[in-house]
Amino acid sequence: MAQKTALIVYAHQSSASFNAAVLDVAVQELTEQGYRVIVSDLYAMKFRADTTQDDIIGDLKNPELFQYGEETMHAWMEGRLSDDIVAEQRKLEQAELVIFQFPLYWFSVPGIMKGWMDRVLTQGFAFSLEKMYNNGTFKGKKAMLSFTTGATQSMFQPDGINGDINITLWPLQSGTLHFCGFQVLAPQIFWSPAHCPPLVRTALLEGWRARLKGLLTEKPLNFAPCELFDLSFQGKFLLWPKVKEEQESKPYGITTGHHLGKPLPPDNQTKAQPRDENKPDCTD
């Protein structure tokens, strides 16, 4: 069997950080499992986060009005993307598993990691209108977020001051990873490690190591499959009327994002849910 590859996209400035320790555990454990592990250490690489014309080699298609998405799509099709983007895309193509390791900044990823997503996940390479969500380009790959917080877990509860962590994670997990087709594994959240005593921090790392041993046997998170929607401009990419009618009797919405004005399905973005055998599976 061919050796499997894992890519870890890492964003922390200090090698003495808890994030660095989490990264080390992942590299060690996945290597012991026989993976070839590639690490993109974004700060060490001085990865450029801004999206500019420098990402395109050669002439622009429309120099009068620079549209980054359109220009990079054409550049990808014609082999004219900058070398640093191409290098990361090659890593992504090789990987069966992608882990994003970072501290939570302003309820999202650090700017340097957001720049990686903006620049590397080019239209055409990572998605198109024909290849998105469960029909996406990377539907054969798994991805997950692994991150630390400054806040405690109680602060991210539905009744906590920061609000429901499931809502916080929806844009990243659905709008970025699942949009590109990834099967998204439940996030690994390290709650407020900076305020934990050393023994607790050690236990957190050991829990991560234990999870990594069975990571690829885990079921991915549930998302609403494309088959539930009228994927046409005439239908406005809305749920089919029949689907909406079927959902009226349900106690919860379909997902965190497709709540339909109902209570959010519990832990929709933090735990894999049992599969409904009567519905299409977005990860097939």
Distance CA 184, CA 205 (A): 21
First to last CA, the chain: 23
Confidence of residue 275 (pLDDT cuts 50, 70, 90): low
Task: Give just the sign of the alpha carbon dihedral 104, 173, 98, 155.
Answer: positive
Q: Chain centroid to CA 248: how far?
A: 30
Task: Read off the pLDDT of each residue in 119-128 and give the average, rounded to a whole number.
Answer: 97
pLDDT score recorded for residue 276 = 53
User: What's the mean pLDDT in 210-219?
Assistant: 94
CA distance 49 to 219: 32
pLDDT in tens, 18-58: 999 999 999 999 999 999 999 999 999 999 999 999 999 99
Per-residue pLDDT tens for 199-209?
999 999 999 99
CATH architecture of the domain covering 5-217: 3-Layer(aba) Sandwich (3.40)
Beta strands in the chain (DSSP E): 5-10, 36-41, 97-103, 142-148, 183-184, 188-190
Reported as type and span, the H/E element at residue 115 is helix 111-120
pTM of structure: 0.94
Let me know: does 256 contact 269? Beta carbons within 8 Å: yes
| CB contact set of 105 (below 8 Å; sequence gap of 6+) | 111
pLDDT score, position 56: 97
At residue 184's C-alpha, the angle toward residues 120 and 165, to 5°, is 100
On the question of pLDDT at 281 being above 60, the answer is no
Task: Give the DSSP letter of residue 19.
Answer: H
- What value does the mean pLDDT take over residues 246-271? 95
Instruction: State both tokens at 142.
Output: 């798994």
Cα separation of 226 and 280, whole Å?
Answer: 9
SS3 144: strand
**Domain extents in the chain:** 5-217
Taking 50 as the threshold, does the pLDDT of residue 283 lie above it?
no
Residue range 259-278: mean pLDDT, rounded? 83
Looking at the predicted structure, is the pLDDT value of residue 274 above 80?
no
For residues 74-82, average pLDDT = 98
Calculated CA dihedral for residues 74, 75, 77, 81, nearest 10 degrees:
-160
